[in-house]
Amino acid sequence: MTEEMIKGLSLYELKKEDFNKLKKWKEEEYSKIRSDLGLILEGQKLNQKDLRLGFIGLARRNDELLKLNKKLSQQLKKKLKRS
């Protein structure tokens, strides 16, 4: 082997080693990103559930208030008729 061939082979091995390191780093980063995205998705599901329950509670309270408003309106009409 000539000296140039040895240098070329050494560079090839370094490049291959760097590529393997990069590949490993990418896999670790992708794994972390996937994990983070999973946590975000789980948080969104919980928020969505909380929002749904909140809207159900608001709808129930709104219904109660409408009934009370109707009852008070009827009482007011009765009072006004008596006056």
The whole-angstrom separation of Cα 51 and Cα 56 is 9
pTM over 0.85: no
The whole-angstrom separation of Cα 45 and Cα 48 is 5
pLDDT for 24-79, tens place per residue? 777 787 888 888 888 999 999 999 999 999 999 999 999 999 999 999 999 999 99
pLDDT for 2-32, tens place per residue? 566 555 556 566 677 777 777 777 778 788 8
Domains of the chain: which residue ranges? 1-83
The whole-angstrom separation of Cα 34 and Cα 41 is 10
